[in-house]
Amino acid sequence: MKNRIKVLRAENNMTQADLANSLQVSRQTINAIERGKFDPSLPLAFRMSRLFKLPIEEIFQDI
Amino acid sequence: MSNTNSEWVSNTRRQTKQLAYWTLAWVISVAIASFGPKLLWNFNNTASLISIMLCLLLGAGMIRQNMRYINNLDELQRQINLESLSIALGVGIVGGLCYSLLDISNVIASDAEISYLVILMGVTYLVALVAGQMRYK
């Protein structure tokens, strides 16, 4: 699954650590999601959606 | 949000420390139950039974704390732990049964010792955990 988290993070001037802090996960998890190595759970995807104020389908694209 | 996360981070550290304390207490109790009969209480059955009960109670506490620790991890860390535990369990069952069969069929001269199985499972878990961390790095 592809995602735009790296771009959205840059647009919001956030580091991986900042995003991890906001989402209550480790920085390793954010890195793995950004690199497409790990797909987040639905609750985490919703938390990202709320944080970036975007619908989930605008953050994640199924390929 | 930042406060909530710092709470999560400090909670994770606390859970990790508590797991280390429970594990240390259990290991010490196992050592006492193993060496106590010969070195401390001259094979007194009551003392042996008490030390084994203590070992059992501390072991139960360690298992409970390990569950709390895993539940507190984030989803990626939990997945890495789950994969490592499943590999360690599989290797323990398959390796342990094969080791036992080697003993039963007299292929090996010595008796099968459970300590080797514990070491095998522990080392497998550690290797799988490190490999999992590397994979998602």
ipTM of the complex: 0.88
Backbone phi and psi for residue B79, each to the nearest 5 degrees, phi listed first: -65, -45
Residue A17: its chain B contacts at CB < 8 A? Answer: none
Chain A residues in contact with B136 by the CB 8 A cut-off are: 28, 31-32, 37-38
Q: State how far the Cα of B32 lies from the Cα of B40, in Å rounded to an integer.
A: 9
How does DSSP classify residue A2?
E
Query: Which residue segment(s) compose the domain that B47 sits in?
Result: 1-72
Burial B104-120 (b: 16+ CB within 10 A, else e): eeeeeeeeeeeeebeeb
- On whether both B65 and B1 belong to a single domain, the answer is yes
Answer yes or no: do B43 and B13 share one domain: yes
Phi, psi (rounded to 5 degrees) for B22? -60, -40
Q: Which residues of chain B have pLDDT under 70?
A: 1-5
Same domain, residue pair B68 and B82: no
Which CATH number fits the domain that encloses residue A20?
1.10.260.40
Question: How many structural domains does chain A have?
Answer: 1
Q: Which two tokens stand for residue B9?
A: 């981070």
CB neighbours of residue A13 within 10 Å: 7
Asked if B68 and B95 sit in the same domain, the reply is: no
**What is the average pLDDT across A2-8?**
95
Give the pLDDT of residue A53: 96
For B89-112, write each residue's pLDDT tens digit: 999 999 999 999 999 999 988 888
- Substitution target from B10, B72, B74 for chain A, most A beta carbons within 10 A: B74
- The residue among B72, B103, B129 that closes a domain is B72
Which structural domain range is residue A11 located in?
A: 2-61
* E strand or H helix at A60: strand A60-61
Question: Mean pLDDT in chain A?
Answer: 93
Give residues with Cβ within 8 angstroms of B30, minimum separation 6. Answer: B55
Q: Look up residue A12 and give its two tokens.
A: 């919001």
- B136 with A20: Cβ contact below 8 A: no
On the CB side of B85, CA atoms within 13 Å amount to 9
Q: What is the CA radius of gyration of chain A?
A: 10
Q: What is the pLDDT of residue B3?
A: 58
Are B81 and B73 in contact, with CB atoms under 8 Å apart?
yes
Residues B83 and B61 reside in one and the same domain: no
Q: Say how many domains are in chain B.
A: 2
